[in-house]
Structure 1
Amino acid sequence: MTSPFSSALGRFAFELYRNIDEEGNVTVSPLSIHLALLMALEGARGETAAEFSAVLALPEGEAGIEKAARRALDRLTDEQRGFALSIVNALWGQVGHPFRSDYVERIGARYDAQAHAVDFAADPEAVRGVINGDIATTTRDRIPELIPIGMIDADTRLVLTNAVWFKAAWSSPFEPDRTAPAPFHLASGGTTDVPTMHDDATVSYFEDDRVQVVQLPYEDDDIVMDVVLPRPGLEITELERDLSVDTWRSWTKSASSTSVALHLPRFEMKCDLGLAEALDRMGLHQAFEVDRADFGGIDGGAGALVITEVLHSAWIKVEEGGTEAAAATAVVFMTGAIGIPAELPLEFRADRPFLFAIRQRATGILLFLGRVSDPRANPTE
């Protein structure tokens, strides 16, 4: 059953994905980005807040989105679940800056955000190391350096961060001794051999004249990986052009239990992104404009806060036993700065670029979303 939070997250996720101008392999955590921006929204006012609400796909007049988010996250991070999921939010604020106590208390209560007083003005590089170290700890060193050198300086006043780490075993693992090199047809037109996992399994499956879709359940079958494979001759960019949460849900809801011969590349990828331009294209303008940004709910307007960048880094590894994935997001604020069903046997052979998502079945919450254009960890072409 979807909630106002999961519905908003789904709409935001696919709109953001379409606006990310990135070729090759792409992976993001819509959940991580959405949570970090929700914390920024808590301090936005006026038209800046209205733009945040629209971009985050929040229902007009919908109160209590943070309560829906809290309920969803509590369920996801329940230690009794059959998978591991850590979600850590934090506020890193310049010592001595007049942050409103109600803002700090509110994001602490609503998002479990831990508040840290740091001194960007005295030693921004040292603070960068502390923030990156905290994120590395949460993500088990999968995201070792979210914030690159030079991204924060003595004018930085606030950084809001989210970090996510996920690990789960398949309900029916692939047998390692069946993994073998198999051709993968690259978007560039070339072909390369990649380690490909094989299994004969009964899974939820859907197909039409454009796509084949499988849902691969984890040990806790409330969490699944959807793999969407365009039909031969359909470019993945053409499929992505019309991609939406409604399209994705129609595929997954139409799936039925089917015996399938699965052929899925083993893959690992990491993606580092600056999201300011994508968010600007989606309609978040004022937050990046020094003369128009209104974050009076954070410091009463005393610091003329403006967002200079929204950083995101995500990593995922899919192999025979299951999946491990991690992501982190940082919203960087400065003062006075400028920025912006079928006949058997059925075969599902992912031997060309495909899309994937890791989501919770019951609510539709999207943990990770991405594109595999080249399954090699370090492609050379």
Structure 2
Amino acid sequence: MTSKKKQFVSQFDGFKVLALPYKQGEDKRRFSMYFFLPGVKDGLPALVEKAGSESGFLNRHLPQQKVEVFKISFGFEASNTLKGLGLVLPFSNEADLTEMVESSVVGSNLSVSSIFHQSFIEVNEQGTEAGAASVGVIALRGLPAEKIDFVADHPFMFLIKEDLTGMVLFSGHIVDPSQAS
């Protein structure tokens, strides 16, 4: 990013947009990161729908007022989400994980107890660093799985766009910004 003086924010009907321009290189390309924050906690699906279906939506909603920077990380326990999507066998007593271990006796008595996901995005003077990882915890059957509550306080979406062409290079959304560090 070039400096704190070149970060912008604007409020639109039902949402706000934050723009963080990156330092321009030797060529003419200009990259910026944009954060789209719905005005209501459950407004992300409608905002994503608008952004994806209205022609020219992104270009019509570029911010103009100056602001300062932040960074975000997010993690959650994904087991219940995966089960809700229909992935239940690895978590059940019928799980067969013999192909994952050397002993077929041990493998037949293992199941997935939980899956955790962690992601981050950091924006600084040099640019943006982003990453994500998921981890599965394997347990012997019968051991209780640790429960972690997940509360979505105020979701928003973000994207990285090349400003001259309008090409969106990366997009995502944050489901629980209270987990940001």
- Equivalent residue letter for 1:370: I
- How far off is 1:276 after superposition? 1.3
Structure 1 stretches lacking a partner, 5+ long: 1-169, 179-196, 341-352
**Residue deviations 1:212-258 (CA, integer Å, cap 9, x gap):** 4466565696975331133xxx42x1203x35865542368522267
Write the distance in 1 (CA, Å) between the matches of 2:46 and 2:20: 20
Is 1:357 matched up with 2:165? Answer: no
Task: Give the root-mean-square deviation of aligned CA atoms.
Answer: 4.6
Using the size of structure 2 for normalisation, the TM-score is: 0.58
Contact 1:288/1:306, CA 8 A, preserved across alignment: yes
> Is 1:228 equivalent to 2:36 in the alignment?
yes
1:297 deviates by: 5.6
Separation in structure 1 between the aligned mates of residue 114 and residue 14 of structure 2, nearest angstrom: 37
Give the alignment partner of residue 70 of structure 2, picking from 267, 273, 297.
Answer: 267
Aligned to 1:330: 135
1:293 to 95, 114, 118: 95
Matched, 1:316 2:118: no
Give the structure 1 partner of residue 53 of structure 2: 250
Q: Is the 8 A contact 1:228 1:354 kept in 2?
A: no
Hey, what's the Cα distance between the residues in 1 that align with 2:113 and 2:132?
A: 20
Change beyond 3 A, Cα 1:222–1:287: farther
1:293 partner letter: A
**Secondary structure class of the residue paired with 1:266:** coil
Alignment partner, residue 211 of structure 1:
15
- Contact kept, 8 Å, 2:74 with 2:179, in 1: the verdict is no
Contact 1:265–1:375 (Cα < 8 Å) also in 2: no
Quote how far apart the aligned CAs of 1:329 are. 1.8
> Which residues of 2 match residues 335-346 of structure 1 at below 5 A?
335-336=140-141, 339=145
Work out the CA distance in 2 between the residues paired with 1:283 and 1:244: 27
| Percent identity for Structure 1 against Structure 2 | 19
User: How many residues end up aligned between the 2 structures?
Assistant: 162
Cα pair 1:225 1:356 within 8 Å, conserved:
no
| Structure-1 separation of matches of 2:31 and 2:180 | 25
Q: 1:307 to 1:239 in 2, by over 3 A?
A: same
Letter in 1 for 2:95: A
Match of 1:256, SS state, is helix
Preserved CA contact (<8 Å) 1:206 1:255: no
Q: Structure 2 unaligned segments of length 5 or more: list them.
A: 147-153
Alpha-carbon distance, 1:317 to partner = 2.9
Once the two structures are TM-superposed, the CA of residue 309 in structure 1 deviates from its matched residue by 1.5
Alpha-carbon distance in 1 for matches of 2:119, 2:55: 24
The 3 A distance-change label for structure 1 pair 363 and 212 is closer
Pair 1:365–1:262, CA change in 2 (3 A): same
Contact residue 217 and residue 223 of structure 1 kept, 8 A: yes
Spell out, residue by residue over 1:108-132, the C-alpha distance to the aligned partner (whole angstroms, 9 max, x if none).
Answer: xxxxxxxxxxxxxxxxxxxxxxxxx
User: Deviation per CA, 1:181-224, whole angstroms, max 9, x where unpaired?
Assistant: xxxxxxxxxxxxxxxx7459xxxx995x3334466565696975
SS at match of 1:287: helix
Higher helix share: 1
Distance 2:128 2:53 in 1: 25
The alpha-carbon distance between structure 1 residues 357 and 260, as it changes in their structure 2 partners (threshold 3 A), is closer
AA partner of residue 36 (structure 2): V
CA contact (8 A) 1:295 1:301 kept: no
Give the CA deviation at 1:300. Answer: 10
Q: By how many angstroms is 1:357 displaced?
A: 2.4
Whole-angstrom CA distance in 2 between matches of 1:308 and 1:372: 23
Q: Alpha carbons of 1:273 and 1:259: their partners in 2 closer, same or farther (altered >3 Å)? A: closer
Distance 2:168 2:124 in 1: 26
Counterpart contact for 2:159–2:169, Cα < 8 Å: no
Asked if residue 238 in structure 1 is aligned to residue 46 in structure 2, the reply is no
**In structure 2, the residue corresponding to 1:255 is in which secondary structure?**
helix
Equivalent residue runs for 1:80-229 within 5 Å: 170=1, 173=2, 175-176=3-4, 178=5, 198-199=7-8, 209-213=13-17, 218=22, 225-229=33-37
